Structures are given as structure tokens and as C-alpha cells.
Amino acid sequence: MSLVINTNTAASTAASNLNHSHSMLQKSLARLSSGSRITAPADDAGGLAVSMKMEAAIRRTDAASSNVANAVSFLQTQDGALKTSGKILERIAELKTLSTDVTKSASDIANYDTEFTALKAELTNQTTSKFNGVDLFGGGTLTVETSEDGAQTLDITQADLATGTTTITAAANLAAITTTDVTDAITNVATSRAQNGADSSRLGFSADILAINKTNLEAANSRIVDVDVAEESTRLARNNILMQAGSAMLAQANTASQAAMRLLQ
């Protein structure tokens, strides 16, 4: 090997290797400090694109889960109103039976009618109940999206509480209704509560599926973007050693020019 002054190939090679080791060391530090395997698009352009799509799907799944949870709350509120309405109707049925007692005076009947009037008013209030401004009752349906892409939906029922209760709420007194009127209204409430329970059950399963899907999406995304700490720590140690070795070899390579100078002295 020639001993020259103008060109130091060994030093250039050592410097190039040192720069590469430094770059890789910085990349390992960035990955370990951020916890992400992809710290720049150049690290994995394809993986980054897939990850962004997965993260968007995760966000949509969270939103769908929130919608389902709100629908469950809607049904819980509706069931509370139905339960209260059922108790009101049960009391009206009791008052109707008591009012037919031949031993009761006109004053007694008037007292029953007074309570009946108050119960009618409360029953009417229940039929106009709302959840966050949305009618709990009315006989319609509300469509809930139960998947992150909106492809799967579920209809929940706005129970028709007015069915069977209109005759009761329109009556002036207990004498104007029959026991059958009240029992029919109670049957309607019972049917509505059964439908409410069925809707709630379906929403519960939908919530479970969304939670599972989110977990799977997060796991898949983690495999793409999250750094393997053990593996990256090994790279960090290797690059750190290469940095030290490169610095030492660059210093050693630079001594070649000094040897040439000594020959000229």
C-alpha cells in the first residue's frame, strides 16, 4: 500500500462508517425515546400508510362505541319511564276497583277521582318524556350504527306509550273507564318493556363486538408502529460500540499522513 499525503482513503472510509453509525445511533435513540418504530415516513412508508388507516378505524370504532353506549342510556331512561307508567296504571286499576265498592260514599269516590286526575297528569307527562331532546315514545324507530364503517345498524323502538292510555287520560273520572281499559294499557307497557329489553340485549352484544374489534385493531397497529424495546436496545448498544470503534479507527487512519511527514523530515 502506497504512503501518500493528498489522499487518505482509510480515513475517508472510517469517517463514512462513523457517520453511518452515528445516524443509526440517532435513529435508535429516537425510536426508544418515542416508543415508535416509525419516526419518519422514510422508515416504513407502506407501514405508515397502513397504520394511519388503522388509527382512523380505531377512532371510528370509539365513536361507534360511544353511540351504542348512548343508545343503551336512551333505552335505560325509556325503561324507567315505562316502569313508572306501569306503576301508575296499576294504581289506577286499584282505584277503579275500589271505586266500585258499594259501601263507598260519594265523598270517598270523589277522593279516588282526585287521585285519578293527578295520576292521569303524570301519565301524560311520561308519554312526552325525552332523552337529550329526543322523544322516548311515539312509536317510531331510531337507527344506531353498530360498526365503525356504518355497514351494520340496529333499530331501537320509541315505544308507543299512548296506545291504551289515551282512553284513560281522556276520561273525566274513574267511572268513565273500565277495568279492561286499564289492563290493556298495562299489557301495552309490559310489551314495550319486553321490546326495550330485547333492544338493550342486542346493543350489549354490539358493544362487546366493537370492544373486541378495537382490541384487534390496536394489536395489529402496534405490530406495525410500536418499537420492540429489547431488539432496539440491542441495536443501540451495537451502534454505540461502532461509534466508539469508528472514532478510534478514524484517529488511527489520520496517523498515516503524520508518518509520511516524518519521512520528509
Mean pLDDT for all residues in the chain = 87
Do residues 85 and 201 share a domain?
A: yes
Do residues 214 and 136 share a domain?
A: yes
What are the residues whose beta carbons fall under 8 Å from the beta carbon of 176, sequence distance 6 or more? none
Do residues 193 and 243 share a domain?
A: no
Do residues 196 and 252 share a domain?
A: no
* Res 3: pLDDT: 58
Do residues 20 and 102 share a domain?
A: no
* Res 10: pLDDT: 73
Do residues 157 and 260 share a domain?
A: no
Q: How far apart are the first and last CA of the chain?
A: 21
What are the residues whose beta carbons fall under 8 Å from the beta carbon of 246, sequence distance 6 or more? 14, 17, 18, 21
Kindly report, residue by residue over 47-100, the tens digit of the pLDDT.
889 999 999 999 999 999 999 999 999 999 999 999 999 999 999 999 999 999
Domain boundaries, position 31: 12-35+227-264
What distances in angstroms separate CA 225 from CA 53, 56, 57, 185, 229, one per listed residue? 12, 14, 15, 59, 12
Do 38 and 163 touch, CB atoms closer than 8 A?
no
Exposed e or buried b per residue across 142-168, where buried means at least 16 C-beta atoms within 10 angstroms of its C-beta: eebbbbbeeeeebebbbbbbbbbbeeb
* Res 249: pLDDT: 75
Angle (deg, nearest 10), helices 229-264 and 9-34: 160
* Res 262: pLDDT: 64
The three cell numbers of residue 77 are: 331512561
What distances in angstroms separate CA 173 from CA 105, 117, 141, one per listed residue? 15, 7, 34
CATH of residue 115's domain is 1.20.1330.10
* Res 264: pLDDT: 60
Tell me if 194 is assigned to some domain.
yes
Do residues 155 and 256 share a domain?
A: no
Do residues 192 and 91 share a domain?
A: yes
Tell me if 1 is assigned to some domain.
no
Domain count, the chain: 2
**Regions of the chain with pLDDT less than 50:** none
Tell me if 217 is assigned to some domain.
yes
Distance from C-alpha of 102 to C-alpha of 117, rounded to nearest angstrom: 21
The three cell numbers of residue 80 are: 324507567
Do residues 113 and 232 share a domain?
A: no
- Range list of H helices, the chain: 9-34, 45-99, 106-127, 166-170, 179-225, 229-264
Cβ atoms < 10 Å from Cβ of 83:
14
Cβ atoms < 10 Å from Cβ of 65:
19
Distance from C-alpha of 212 to C-alpha of 194, rounded to nearest angstrom: 28
Tell me if 6 is assigned to some domain.
no
Place of cell 378495537: 214
Do residues 115 and 215 share a domain?
A: yes
Do residues 208 and 138 share a domain?
A: yes
Distance from C-alpha of 166 to C-alpha of 213, rounded to nearest angstrom: 45
Distance from C-alpha of 190 to C-alpha of 185, rounded to nearest angstrom: 9
Tell me if 160 is assigned to some domain.
yes
Tell me if 5 is assigned to some domain.
no
Do 205 and 65 touch, CB atoms closer than 8 A?
no
Do residues 81 and 28 share a domain?
A: no
Tell me if 243 is assigned to some domain.
yes
Tell me if 171 is assigned to some domain.
yes
